[in-house]
Amino acid sequence: MTRADAVGDLHDVRKALGVCSETRLRAMLVDKMSFRKIGECMFPRVSTDLARKKIAAQCAFLLEQLSEYYRNVDRARRREKETCTPVPFQVG
């Protein structure tokens, strides 16, 4: 069940942030690649140091976007929970 939830989360992130963001996130979290290694794969024609710096900046930006995405998801869930909470019956 947890694996299915993770796949659903990845799909939601891809939909919200795009395929490029999902690719970088997958490289960091699933493949456990370093910035240097991701940089070599994403920018093969650029020096290793420059590629690493580019990926580090992109990943920092991605993590900021991801944080904002989950903040908005939490707000929506809280709003939904508040609107769906039944009012307790009071005997008067």
pLDDT for 31-83, tens place per residue? 999 999 999 999 999 999 999 999 999 999 999 999 999 999 899 888 888 77
Q: Could you give the count of Cα atoms lying within 13 Å of 89 in the half-sphere of its Cβ? A: 1
Q: Enumerate the domain spans of the chain.
A: 9-67
- Burial track 28-61 (b if 16+ CB lie within 10 A, e otherwise): beeeebebebbbbebeeeeeeeebbebbeebbee
Question: What global pTM score does this model have?
Answer: 0.74
Instruction: Report the C-alpha gap between 89 and 92 in whole angstroms.
Output: 9
Q: What is the pLDDT of residue 84?
A: 67
Query: Can you list the positions of beta strands (E) in the chain?
Result: none
